[in-house]
Chain A
Amino acid sequence: MDTDTQLLESMAIFILKSRLGPAGVTGGGEMMRTRWAKALILLAVLALLATACSQDDESATTTAAPATTTTAAPATTTTAGDTAATTTAAPEPSLAFDAGVTEEPCEGGNPDNGCIYLGVISDLSDGPFAALAIPAVAGVQEFWNTVNADGGVAGFDVAITAENTVDARYNPSEHVEGYVEIEPNILMLAQSLGTPQTQAALPQYIEDNMVAVPATWWSGWAFPENDGNGLVLETGVNYCFEAMNDVDFVVGQLGAEISYAVVGFPGDYGGDYAAGIDVGAVTYGLGDPAFQLTQVPLSAGGDVSEAVSQILATTPDVVFITTGPLELAQTMGGVFGAGGQALFVGTHPTWNPGLVAQEALLPALQAAYFQSGFVPGWFGESEGHDKARAAAEAIEQSPNEWFLNGWASQYPVKALIEDAVASGDLTRAGVVAAVRQLEDVSFEGMLPNQTYFGSPNDIAPRQSIINQVDPEAPGGTVTATGMFTGPTAEAYDFNAPCFVP
């Protein structure tokens, strides 16, 4: 009996000790210290791990480091907003300004210039377009770095700081939230990415007199009732005309006896393009699509299996696809992997140069994918292209059409600042007034000059370009056609947005 009890006792103590650790039953204070120490060590290890990984990973990523990829949230009120009402000596004594503009030079900028702060709300990590938006934001950033290096614009340097950059992850609520946080510090938005996102924030933009450059090409932006009477400074052809040009191209290649299908993201991005396809289909008598599918972005939990199975079941000749690059890759992979075939034509946000690294997919991409775009490709010949390429080299940005897109989108902003300063009013209201007279903006040859007020039927750009996949080419594509306006788009009477939700 005794030995049994002793055995049980010693077993109990053994178990208790092993459960409670070295401090034993009377743990108390020592236990606390050990636990805090462990927590600290854990954090330190993870931090070290992160630093270690960062060295290795710099060379591993296929795109260059972005210019700014941090979120907004000015921790404390910055000088930009505070100098709102001051009337101390300004560079031009007659110039009025409020939010987003200071007489003090930007950090690291020309000491004689004032500073204009612009904001960026984009998709920099989680959303479907992060791979495109990061180089686009780099393009925006480098445009202004080049302008600043040349002496700035109208006596000001332009700064896009990390604090004024919001990563909205293609989520409209986060877009709006982020906007509210950076709004006091900025004069204009240098980028507002996503059609539904910009639409969600538009009432706020209107209330705050905030001019925004969209990274979205919905046809509705051309109409004053949709863009706050001019607040949205779109550049380049919209999805609707792009679609019409795509149909013209496809019919030119395959004739008019083809079946087609349409796959697109939800909302105006997919809807606008689909509407343009409709117009083209009517023109050529192509009939109804074999199917039309709304594809939920993968980053939002969507799945391409439905699109793939529909394509395999209905075997259309052409699939017009308006999604992001991941969805394109998986859909094409699924279709071609199952032995199916179709010609895929994608809108300009659907392509990502990184896709050429997909060895499995490359043959299919080269043979069966066409990409439409709104800016001539990397080796376009223009003054703007030269400058952009030089800037990209300086920051070791690999050739990427989206860098050019971002770069080109800023020309109207520069013109606008110049106009506003010339008229003596660089307040938000003054800038909005200048927008309504913005005409004949030069893109240094990258795009035809564009005017921002007037009848949409007259001023909306209708030119796009078709590219083919070529893994050797910089940016992964070569031009198949030049910039062109197809007959459908040419003849189209543009008096209303192609698609309204």
Chain B
Amino acid sequence: MRGRPGLVTAYQRDMAIFPTNTQRVWFVMASVAMVLLTFFLSDDLALRGASAAAAAIGAIGLNLVTGWAGQISLGHAFFLGVGAYTAAALGGESGGPLIGLGLEMWIWLPAAGVVAAVAGVVVAPIATRLRGLYLAFVTLGLVFIGEHIFREWDSLTGGIGVGRSAAKPILFGYDLSREGSFLGFTLSAERQYMLFALLVLLIMGLLAKNLVRGRIGRAFSAIRDRDIAAEIMGINLANHKLIAFTVSSFYAGIAGALLWTFVGFVEPRSFGLTLSIVYIAMILIGGAASIMGSIMGAVFITFLPRIVDLLAKYLPLIEDSPSGGFLNVVQVEQILFGLLIVVFLIVEPLGLYGIWIRIRNYWKAWPFSY
């Protein structure tokens, strides 16, 4: 009924991705706004926006396995790397000294996801055997072993300190890395990247939302809350943990492929523990078990360096001049990053999404504060 959003009369309504009209309208408006925003951002901000959208895909993947299914995975960097290198191998230049097949994006992008998912399938049985923090350690080990493999497999990665160029974003003959024009607007490469990334994010986000509102999503939540009780209730733990890791790795593979294609160059050292922590931070700061939260967290973390640069102009502590100062901007960014994780966990466990909910509830009840 109009004006009574809390009154639910049909099961479909209860389960819907966008239950109320307001949500549907907001969703459409936000999507349109994002697309329009692309045209107004400067090139380097558009590139950051594209990276944020791709990172959001990865964050959603991590949220699925850690936020919803409760399987702590510190190994996300490994799956991102698998995705990035699969894409580079399939989509990179052929005929050079490194592995490259020169295929188009509609092949290498899903392939990156699939190969990463296969890697996830391999890791999943370990998850079944281990619980909680021991699983975290094993996934941590996966990152380091992955680093070793990336370092040593020079014909794929170019080797450490050297790297290789990433896949070429050619979609059905159209090269996204070249300037193009659309309806009379010139689109720089960065803007094309952002639009494409937003499109992929839209699709993957809706798919993820669909997953978590259904049977599998509820099974994940049950496993997270009390996995032994879930098993007693008839949820097959092994299968669901397998699904969680596979889907999460698929998302990570896609995200990795996109992220490094936008930069154009991929180097093995990028896929270390720090990258895993960055994604954990995204979902914690954004809000665990929340798609919107993953996106907010990803955007926030991706734009954090810019925010810190702005802060640098106003805080005397940060070095902006040749002499004096204690920390340079990169270091402030890293410290802030660490501190933000700490602060959010202590103060607002629900993350940015939780803050958004608070704001929304405040305005819902305004001018009554209770």
List the interface of chain A (C-beta within 8 A of B).
Answer: 35-36, 38-39, 42-43, 46-47, 50-51, 53-54, 57, 65-71, 73, 75, 77, 124-125, 141, 162, 167, 170-173, 176-177, 180-181, 184, 196, 200-201, 203-204, 265-268, 294, 296-297, 300-302, 395, 501
Is B357 an interface residue, CB under 8 A from the partner?
no
- A268 neighbours in B (Cβ, 8 Å): 162
Selected contact of A69 from candidates B165, B306, B328, CB within 8 Å: B328
A73 to B309, CA, bound (A): 7
A43 to B158, CA, bound (A): 42
A196 with B161: CB separation less than 8 A: yes
Q: Given the known A-B contacts A46-B339, A73-B309, are A170 and B161 also in contact in the complex, defined by CB atoms under 8 Å? A: yes
Selected contact of B309 from candidates A35, A71, A173, A501, CB within 8 Å: A71
Q: Name 12 A/B residue pairs within 8 A (Cβ), A-sorted.
A: A54-B325, A65-B324, A70-B328, A71-B329, A75-B306, A173-B163, A173-B260, A173-B267, A196-B163, A204-B264, A395-B322, A501-B162
- B97 neighbours in A (Cβ, 8 Å): 501
Is B270 an interface residue, CB under 8 A from the partner?
yes
Look across to chain A and name the residue whose beta carbon is closest to the beta carbon of B342.
Answer: A42
Is B320 an interface residue, CB under 8 A from the partner?
yes
B326 with A167: CB separation less than 8 A: no
Query: In B17-44, which residues have CB < 8 Å from any A CB?
Result: 42-44
A46 to B326, CA, bound (A): 13
- Flag B343-360 by CB within 8 Å of A: 1 or 0 each: 100110000000000000
- B159 neighbours in A (Cβ, 8 Å): 266-267, 294
- B163 neighbours in A (Cβ, 8 Å): 172-173, 196, 200
Is B305 an interface residue, CB under 8 A from the partner?
yes
Look across to chain A and name the residue whose beta carbon is closest to the beta carbon of B147.
Answer: A301
Q: Given the known A-B contacts A67-B322, A173-B265, A296-B151, are A266 and B162 also in contact in the complex, defined by CB atoms under 8 Å? A: yes
A125 with B263: CB separation less than 8 A: no
| A396 CB to nearest B CB, Å | 9
Look across to chain B and name the residue whose beta carbon is closest to the beta carbon of A169.
Answer: B330
A167 with B162: CB separation less than 8 A: no
Is B331 an interface residue, CB under 8 A from the partner?
yes
| B151 CB to nearest A CB, Å | 7
Is B313 an interface residue, CB under 8 A from the partner?
yes
Query: In B128-166, which residues have CB < 8 Å from any A CB?
Result: 147, 151, 158-163, 165
- A73 neighbours in B (Cβ, 8 Å): 44, 305-306, 309, 329
Q: Given the known A-B contacts A39-B347, A184-B43, are A172 and B151 also in contact in the complex, defined by CB atoms under 8 Å? A: no
- B264 neighbours in A (Cβ, 8 Å): 176, 203-204
| A235 CB to nearest B CB, Å | 23
- A266 neighbours in B (Cβ, 8 Å): 159-162
A162 to B267, CA, bound (A): 26
B329 with A70: CB separation less than 8 A: yes
Is B209 an interface residue, CB under 8 A from the partner?
no
Which of A38, A43, A200 has the most chain B CB within a 10 Å cutoff? A200
- A181 neighbours in B (Cβ, 8 Å): 44
A395 to B320, CA, bound (A): 17
Q: Given the known A-B contacts A47-B317, A184-B43, are A65 and B323 also in contact in the complex, defined by CB atoms under 8 Å? A: yes
Q: Given the known A-B contacts A196-B163, A300-B160, are A57 and B326 also in contact in the complex, defined by CB atoms under 8 Å? A: yes
Is B187 an interface residue, CB under 8 A from the partner?
no
Q: Give 6 nearest A-B pairs by CB, closest first.
A: A54-B326, A267-B162, A196-B162, A172-B163, A70-B329, A200-B265
- A267 neighbours in B (Cβ, 8 Å): 159, 161-162
A167 with B328: CB separation less than 8 A: yes
- A42 neighbours in B (Cβ, 8 Å): 342-343
A203 to B168, CA, bound (A): 13
A173 with B270: CB separation less than 8 A: yes
Is B327 an interface residue, CB under 8 A from the partner?
yes
A125 with B265: CB separation less than 8 A: no
A77 with B263: CB separation less than 8 A: no
Q: Given the known A-B contacts A73-B309, A125-B330, A267-B162, are A172 and B267 also in contact in the complex, defined by CB atoms under 8 Å? A: yes
- B305 neighbours in A (Cβ, 8 Å): 71, 73
Q: Given the known A-B contacts A177-B263, A266-B161, are A71 and B328 also in contact in the complex, defined by CB atoms under 8 Å? A: yes
Q: A50-B317, A69-B319, A70-B330 are in contact. List 7 more A-B contacts (CB 8 A).
A: A36-B347, A47-B317, A71-B330, A73-B309, A203-B264, A266-B160, A501-B162
Is B321 an interface residue, CB under 8 A from the partner?
yes
A125 to B332, CA, bound (A): 12
- B317 neighbours in A (Cβ, 8 Å): 47, 50-51
| A206 CB to nearest B CB, Å | 13
A43 with B267: CB separation less than 8 A: no
A458 to B163, CA, bound (A): 32
Q: Given the known A-B contacts A39-B343, A53-B326, are A75 and B309 also in contact in the complex, defined by CB atoms under 8 Å? A: yes
A301 to B270, CA, bound (A): 12
B312 with A50: CB separation less than 8 A: no
B328 with A125: CB separation less than 8 A: yes
B151 with A38: CB separation less than 8 A: no
Is B310 an interface residue, CB under 8 A from the partner?
yes
| B143 CB to nearest A CB, Å | 11
- B306 neighbours in A (Cβ, 8 Å): 73, 75
A65 with B322: CB separation less than 8 A: yes
Is B283 an interface residue, CB under 8 A from the partner?
no
A301 to B330, CA, bound (A): 20
- B310 neighbours in A (Cβ, 8 Å): 75
B162 with A70: CB separation less than 8 A: no
Is B69 an interface residue, CB under 8 A from the partner?
no
A296 to B309, CA, bound (A): 32
Q: Given the known A-B contacts A71-B305, A300-B161, are A162 and B326 also in contact in the complex, defined by CB atoms under 8 Å? A: no
A420 to B312, CA, bound (A): 35
Is B47 an interface residue, CB under 8 A from the partner?
yes
Is B269 an interface residue, CB under 8 A from the partner?
yes
- B158 neighbours in A (Cβ, 8 Å): 501
- B56 neighbours in A (Cβ, 8 Å): none
A124 to B44, CA, bound (A): 22
| A144 CB to nearest B CB, Å | 12
Is B208 an interface residue, CB under 8 A from the partner?
no
Is B266 an interface residue, CB under 8 A from the partner?
yes
Look across to chain B and name the residue whose beta carbon is closest to the beta carbon of A125.
Answer: B330
Selected contact of A173 from candidates B47, B266, B321, CB within 8 Å: B266
- B321 neighbours in A (Cβ, 8 Å): 162
- A167 neighbours in B (Cβ, 8 Å): 328, 330
A43 to B309, CA, bound (A): 19
A353 to B356, CA, bound (A): 53
Look across to chain A and name the residue whose beta carbon is closest to the beta carbon of B268.
Answer: A300
